[in-house]
A and B are shown apart, each in its own frame.
Chain A
Amino acid sequence: MNEFLLTVFSAAFLATVIRTSTPLLLATLGGLISDLSGALNVALDGIMLIGCLTAVIVSHYAPWYVGVLAGIGAGAAVGLVMAFFHLRMKADIIIVGFAIGALATGGTVFALSLATGGDKGTSINLPSGAVPAVDLSFLGAIPGIGPALVAIFSGHSLLSWVAAFLVFAIWYFLYRTPWGLWLRAVGEYPAAPEAAGIPVNAVRFWSLIVSGALAGLGGAQLAMFNFIGFTANMTAGRGFIALGAVLLGARHPVGVMFAALLFGAFDGLTNVLPGHYPWIPPELIRMIPFAVTILALLLFSYRAQRALALRGVKA
């Protein structure tokens, strides 16, 4: 037990948390943007998966950053498709989202087999690029805490730092710029921005595109850093965990960052626990993040229900 706790509170484990949280955080930010604009983006997982595959294939032929940009582009394109069906063709956003999800699960395997000449499981025959790590070993010169800082913060994906910056950028956008005000108004009470002459549908359109782009970026990080290469259904429900993180983080950029870190920590545990408790089946451990998501959502639902009950509404 002690040994286990030592592992969990070690610098190496914190570094693992940052690493596992990064793709999740990017997808969560994407979920946040669409959620605040009033659309629950259940396609996040599928978009991530498409981002993964696109990034892997493109980076096989081009430099890593082109692969990352392609992941973002593919995500944005899927967001655009969703926006088209939802806003122009008036389809229900949840149905559109699940359709995209189903398409992504099958479509990525199909595209993979085309690209690799028949391989339906992994892209092992298609070596892809990797996102470079940021070396901060110079921090070691700081007396005392230097080595710990290096252990925690050095060697992370460049995209981890981008994600941290995006938390700030999205906060600034949402709460300090006029367009952020528009986006929040559209999500909360569309009649108000409509009356103020704000192009409500354009705001929704862009929100879905940006949401897709962020999920695509999350996919690129997953397939070009956390893992190198594509595996069928490699997102393993991260897009859905991201939706949970949006709610757990109280729909605020900083809140969702902490929620993503928490979920990342559980993801990290699934790597660490088997070493200490080999008798726990690994399948059970891999369920932890999902169980936590469900518990978190139950907690929220319970609080909302209690509020309703107090208002006298009978379920």
Chain B
Amino acid sequence: MAFIEARGIGRVYPGGVVANDGVDLSVEKGEVHAVVGENGAGKSTLMKILFGIERPDAGTLSLDGRQVHFDGPRDAIDAGIGMVFQHFSLVPSFSVYENVALGSEPRKGIRFDREAAIARVRGLSEQFRLNVDPMPPVRTLPVGQQQRVEILKALYRNARVLILDEPTAVLAPQEVAELFVAIRSLIEQGCTVIFIAHKLPEVLEISDTITVMRQGRTVGTVKAKDVTEHELATMMVGREVALRVDRAPRAAGAEVCTVSNLRLVNARGADVCRDLSLGVRAGEILGLVGVEGNGQAEVMEAIAGLRHVADGRIVVADQDIVPLSVLRRRGIGIASIPEDRIAEGLATGASVAENIVATRLKDRRYVRNGLLDLKAIKANAVRLIEQFSIRVNGPAVPVGTLSGGNMQKVVVARELSEQPKLLLVSQPTRGVDLGATQFIWKTIAAARDAGAAVLLSSADLGELLALSDRLLVFYRGRIVAAFHNREGLSPETLGTYMLGLSEQSPEELRAGL
């Protein structure tokens, strides 16, 4: 019997969504076991059951040969299971050691024994080659380090099994490499790692065994060395997939958007970027590459009108748009697919139809004499739901009840139902399943082919390389490299620039710009 055995796990959420339906998982001691599947395949639910957050409606769970029941995370932690979520649960103002010790503090009388906590955290960090200083507040740390603080938290509680939920989603390639070093060191010292992911090359690199899930069931378990990326993708989706976009080579047209000498500042008044210039032409996709927090998101926000411009010009269609409101900018043909669809892209309590019409409240087709034309709005929504194959039971359904992929399709439908001059796209497929990803990519590429200038920023280098015609690498608010996207441009090359390890000469930059 395997170290961790889950047999016939079933979980139905209130509302009737079947998240797990007879799922089996067996993990051997001391291996890296990946669980892969599209969003909505039931991976997260299974992990929440393993960690005691959800209770299964059916099935059994055993650990080290003994059957176990977890009534909450505490039980799972006591049984030696630790979990690192995609969204970290760290208190921003607390130091690393305070975060790690929180809830299991060493005590001296009634006092929190800080020295003991610091020593313990430092020891664990060295033992598992995590390379984390216990003293600084976590909000000052980069994402990769914060993630390792989460790993420390689990180890501090004597976890022998570590569940990592999509750990690479937020990391740059070099940070992924560091994470993998830590994972290997964990395995060497007898830990077991369960690794949730959907980026297949990484899965194949780090894991020993892979369990594939689809629509709440396990499709199969394979050894990583016996399987190819293509086979895995087919298992995940249940049909052949081609994650390729055919980019018809075409000559880019006139420059649609010109950003010159842009300066943006953050809350503390420090520069986010200064003296930044770039241009996008009609019919090209310009990819903005960079680890999150290096200014690319802020530049997009500034163009969209969501961020104050401290200095510089943004010219779209021969007009400086800096003084224009968001509405006026939309009027001249700027469309925007924002990074956080729930916070910025949609009103989750409103219906699909209302969300789709939300940017057109001055359009006489939908609003007449200050009154909504509900029939026209509904007809428009029905048409777009069909055209963008949004899976929803009608236009009146609240957007918040849709899956991530379908929510994103609602945003895409709204922004691209009319051909924009300039399209701003941030993280278009974060948390979106493969099928929807393929669709969204095609839609963006179609907008480009129809002559839109597209600015794309994404944490997923694969996405940037698949879609972009040109790529600009941001590091600390500056453009440090520019490339034409040709065969042979690798994520590793981009990674070196993303982490500031090297920088192009002005001549090379000019060639790419």
Contact = CB atoms under 8 A, between A and B. Distances in A.
Interface of A: 176-178, 180-182, 184-185, 188-189, 191-198, 307-314
Interface string B286-325: 0000000000001001100011100000000000000000
Nearest to A311: B267
Interface of B: 72-74, 77, 85, 87, 89-94, 98-99, 102-105, 107, 110-112, 153, 264-269, 298, 301-302, 306-308
> Which has the most chain A C-beta neighbours within 10 Å: B72, B105, B264?
B105
B301 to A, nearest CB: 7
B359 to A, nearest CB: 17
Nearest to B301: A312
A194 B85 CA distance: 13
B438 to A, nearest CB: 33
Contact of A178 (B77, B105, B268): B105
Contacts of A197: 72-74, 77, 103
A312 B268 contact: no
B302 A312 contact: yes
B102 A185 contact: yes
Given A192-B102, A310-B266, A312-B298, 7 more contacts: A176-B112, A180-B112, A182-B102, A189-B89, A191-B87, A197-B73, A313-B307
B474 to A, nearest CB: 17
Contact of B153 (A181, A189, A196, A314): A196
B248 to A, nearest CB: 37
Q: Is the interface of B mostly helix, strand, loop or mixed?
A: loop
A151 B153 CA distance: 54
A199 B268 CA distance: 35
A312 B91 contact: no
B103 A189 contact: no
26 contacts: A176-B111, A176-B112, A178-B105, A181-B94, A181-B102, A181-B105, A184-B94, A185-B91, A185-B94, A188-B93, A189-B89, A192-B89, A192-B91, A195-B89, A196-B89, A196-B104, A197-B72, A309-B308, A310-B265, A310-B267, A310-B269, A311-B267, A311-B307, A312-B298, A312-B301, A312-B307
Contacts of A193: 91, 102-103
A192 B99 contact: yes
Contacts of B301: 312
Contact of B103 (A196, A308, A310, A311): A196
B92 A189 contact: yes
B293 to A, nearest CB: 13
A191 B53 CA distance: 13
A261 B73 CA distance: 45
Nearest to B51: A195
Contacts of B98: 181
Contacts of A177: 110-112
A198 B103 contact: yes
Contacts of B266: 310-311
Contacts of A182: 102-103
Given A181-B112, A185-B94, A197-B74, A314 B308 contact: yes
A312 B92 contact: no
A12 B268 CA distance: 44
Given A181-B112, A189-B92, A192-B89, A307 B74 contact: no
Smallest CB-CB A-B distances: 5 pairs = A196-B103, A312-B307, A311-B267, A195-B89, A178-B105
A191 B90 CA distance: 8
A151 B274 CA distance: 60
Contact of A191 (B89, B94, B269): B89
A83 B300 CA distance: 44
> Which has the most chain A C-beta neighbours within 10 Å: B87, B110, B153?
B110
A208 to B, nearest CB: 21
A194 B89 contact: yes
Contacts of A180: 112
Contacts of B91: 184-185, 188-189, 192-193
Nearest to A189: B91
Contacts of A309: 308
A302 to B, nearest CB: 14
A196 to B, nearest CB: 3
Given A307-B267, A312-B298, A178 B112 contact: yes
B186 to A, nearest CB: 20
B308 A195 contact: no
A307 B87 CA distance: 25
Contacts of B268: 307, 310
A180 to B, nearest CB: 8
Contacts of B103: 182, 193, 196-198
A128 B87 CA distance: 57
A260 B428 CA distance: 51
A127 B302 CA distance: 68
A93 to B, nearest CB: 21
Contacts of B302: 312
B437 to A, nearest CB: 28
Contacts of A314: 306, 308
A312 B264 contact: yes
Nearest to B105: A178
Contacts of B104: 196
A180 B111 CA distance: 10
A195 B89 CA distance: 7
A175 B35 CA distance: 41
A197 B89 CA distance: 12
A282 B151 CA distance: 63
